[in-house]
């Protein structure tokens, strides 16, 4: 979180970015970080998490996971997940949906998760065999619309 805070401070100091319209997005591990940063930084307006893990065992390096911080979200997050992801099972994504619903806070309630059935992990990575053009394009459209609707665009 400190690294991302430093990035935000840097671009704010450079005067080249409008941090009043701060959004965060990430893929895979970055998708996980998107959830966490949306709970960490009150300046974030919206996040888009692309197939990031949402549950896991706590450790020194990963003390909390997205499912643990749903109630702490300060910005709504759109989750874009793959229905055939062997590394992020659907039942864990369902746990995140349940955590968002249980949190009942404005950001958690506004957050939503879209699952692409039969898509493999990393369907948006055009340099990998898992790339799926139609789902990637749809996800990108959803991400842009989400940011625009939530004050980022």
Residue with tokens 């404005």: 106
Q: What CATH architecture is 23-56+63-149? A: 3-Layer(aba) Sandwich (3.40)
Q: What is the pLDDT of residues 21-58, one digit of tens each?
A: 999 999 999 999 999 999 999 999 999 999 999 999 99
Confidence label for 114 from pLDDT (cuts 50, 70 and 90): very high
For the record, the structure tokens of 73 come out as 């979200």
Ramachandran category for residue 15: left, alpha or beta (phi over 0 → left; psi -120 to 50 → alpha): left
Residue 40's nearest CA partner among 73, 65, 11, 77 is 73
pLDDT value at position 16? 86
| Catalytic choice (65, 82, 85, 124) | 85
Of 28, 65, 82, 124, the catalytic one is: 28
Catalytic residue among 68, 72, 121, 138: 121
Question: How many whole angstroms separate alpha carbon 65 and alpha carbon 78?
Answer: 16
Please report which confidence band the pLDDT of residue 68 belongs to, taking 50, 70 and 90 as the band edges: very high
Instruction: With cut-offs at 50, 70 and 90, classify the pLDDT of residue 153.
Output: confident
Give catalytic status of residue 85 as yes or no: yes
Burial bucket for residue 100 (CB in 10 Å: 0-12, 13-18, 19+): buried
* Helix, strand, coil share of the chain (percent; to 5): 45, 15, 40
């Amino acid at each position: 979180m400190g690294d991302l805070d430093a990035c935000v401070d840097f671009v704010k100091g450079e005067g080249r970015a409008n941090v009043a319209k701060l959004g965060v997005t990430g893929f895979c591990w970055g998708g996980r970080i998107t959830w966490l940063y949306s709970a960490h930084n009150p300046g974030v307006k919206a996040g888009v998490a692309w197939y990031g893990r949402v549950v896991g065992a706590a450790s020194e390096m990963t003390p909390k996971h997205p499912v643990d911080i749903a109630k702490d979200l300060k910005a709504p997050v759109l989750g874009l997940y793959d229905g055939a992801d062997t590394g992020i099972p659907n039942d864990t994504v369902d746990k995140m949906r349940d955590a968002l619903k249980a949190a009942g806070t404005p950001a958690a309630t506004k957050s939503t998760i879209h699952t692409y059935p039969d898509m493999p992990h990393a369907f948006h990575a055009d340099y990998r065999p898992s790339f799926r053009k139609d789902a990637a394009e749809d996800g990108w459209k959803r991400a842009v619309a989400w940011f625009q609707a939530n004050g980022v665009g």
